[in-house]
Amino acid sequence: MTAPPADLETPCLLLDRARLERNCARMKAKMATLGLALRPHIKTAKCVEVAALACDAGRRLTVSTIAEARFFAARGFANIVYAVGLVPAKVGPLREIALDNGARIAGIVDTAAAAEAVAAAAAAMDFELPLYIEIDTGDGRGGVLPDAPELEAIAAILATCDGVAPAGVLTHAGQSYRCHGVDEVRAVAETERDGVTAAAARLRAAGFACPEVSAGSTPTATHAESGDGLTEMRPGVYVFGDLDQMALGSCRYDDIAVTVLASVIGHNRQQGHLLIDAGGLALSKDISAGEFLDRVGYGWLADIDSDRAAPIENLYVAGVSQEHGIVRGKDGGAVDFDRYPVGSRLRVIPNHVCMTAAAYDRYHVLTGNSVETWSRAVGWY
């Protein structure tokens, strides 16, 4: 990796194309090995060029906002799952996006009440929306338990009501983000697969159609040892990687493809810290990797012109305010002010790249010595 051009304005997002391509190829190969379709969750990247690299021939995508559904459907991604619990008010926008682009856009529900309300809204528009039943395989956020009585009640609504059609079952074992070590992640991957395939089997045994059996998060997709009974997986953050995923064992440090380019804007020798122009907005206030790694704060640091084989060992972003990042030495170590003069630039390695990237409307994509700009689909509508 060469240094980014000197005229890039800071803070900005850098994306290393070679690493991105390697990450995408690795997950495609993994899904091929498991015999599963890949439906990347594009909430991380929100970028059509990344989606094109990430998708297999099926060009399936998972999205988290109406804005993403609209953006990708208009750009030739015609098989989309909006994987946030659907409510009647969002049926109209999804219908419009589907019809305008000849796309199949499916939603998810996890209660009979939601399924009925969505069905009524869609039927009133003379539209039919495919719906997955969300299954809780241990995360405890949304979804019905595989053995809950409500599972069949929802399936009955999808099978019989106008306005909806059964798409299958879907789960996200978000507890994989709380694992310590690859063995725990592997166990969660099995729990995820067991739960969602059990739900599918139960539906089929009761005579309901269950075309898709969808699972996956970046940790579980990376470490799953079997895809039996599944049809697809939906990892997202693997395209970029971050400190969180590194700590979970989903990537190595030198797989991390997105960094924040920042300028040193101050030397506070009295307090012993550098100030950079990447603060709480540019980095986000996500400190999730701190659960796994010592002295992460709001991110690690790297020199701009290194190959980033290693981060700058003794520095981290210890604090943020809106537009200021405070860079301190780890464990009270001194900052080498002369090495980082005011106006010099650093990269920040993010904790959780989904949150960090959210503040930006574009990537500066580095390929060898060239830079291009890729847009992000920001906002909700």
Which residues contribute to the site for its own copies (CB under 8 A)? 7, 9-12, 43, 64-66, 84-89, 93, 110-111, 113-114, 117, 136, 140-143, 145, 148, 174, 263-268, 270-271, 275, 277, 280-282, 284-287, 321-324, 326, 341-343, 354-355, 358-361, 378-381
Residue 237 Cβ vs its own copies, minimum distance, rounded to whole Å = 10
Q: Which residue number, 3 or 148, has a Cβ lying nearer to its own copies?
A: 148
User: Are 142 and 85 within 8 A, CB to CB?
Assistant: yes
Q: DSSP letter string over 49-67?
A: HHHHHH--TT-EEEESSHH
Inter-CA distances, 160 with 81, 94, 140, 164, Å: 21, 21, 28, 8
Q: Which residue number, 361 or 372, has a Cβ lying nearer to its own copies?
A: 361
Distance CA 37, CA 31 (A): 6
Residue 254 Cβ vs its own copies, minimum distance, rounded to whole Å = 25
Residue 191 Cβ vs its own copies, minimum distance, rounded to whole Å = 16
Q: DSSP letter string over 258-311?
A: EEEEEEEEEEETTTTEEEES--HHHH-S--GGGGTSSS-BT-EEEETTS--SS-
Residue 347 Cβ vs its own copies, minimum distance, rounded to whole Å = 16
Q: DSSP letter string over 304-367?
A: TTS--SS--TTEEEEEE-SS-EEEEEGGGPPP-GGGS-TT-EEEEE-S-HHHHHTT-SEEEEEE
**Count of all residues that appear for the chain in the document:** 381
Q: Which residue number, 141 or 180, has a Cβ lying nearer to its own copies?
A: 141
Q: Which residue number, 120 or 159, has a Cβ lying nearer to its own copies?
A: 120
Inter-CA distances, 215 with 140, 191, 197, 219, Å: 15, 11, 9, 11
Q: To 10 degrees, what angle do helices 66-73 and 91-101 make?
A: 10
Residue 247 Cβ vs its own copies, minimum distance, rounded to whole Å = 17
Task: Please choose, from the candidates 226, 225, 263, 260, the residue with its C-alpha nearest in 3D space to the C-alpha of residue 240.
Answer: 260
User: Are 347 and 262 within 8 A, CB to CB?
Assistant: yes
Q: Which residue number, 117 or 156, has a Cβ lying nearer to its own copies?
A: 117
Would you give the end-to-end CA distance of the chain in angstroms?
Answer: 36
Residue 373 Cβ vs its own copies, minimum distance, rounded to whole Å = 12
Residue 5 Cβ vs its own copies, minimum distance, rounded to whole Å = 12
Q: 3-state DSSP call for residue 158?
A: helix
Residue 377 Cβ vs its own copies, minimum distance, rounded to whole Å = 13
Q: Which residue number, 130 or 325, has a Cβ lying nearer to its own copies?
A: 325
Residue 290 Cβ vs its own copies, minimum distance, rounded to whole Å = 12
Q: Which residue number, 110 or 212, has a Cβ lying nearer to its own copies?
A: 110
Q: Residue 3 has what DSSP assignment?
A: P
Q: Which residue number, 34 or 275, has a Cβ lying nearer to its own copies?
A: 275
Q: Which residue number, 23 or 64, has a Cβ lying nearer to its own copies?
A: 64
Q: 3-state DSSP call for residue 147?
A: coil
Q: How many CA atoms lie within 13 A of 342 on its CB side?
A: 6
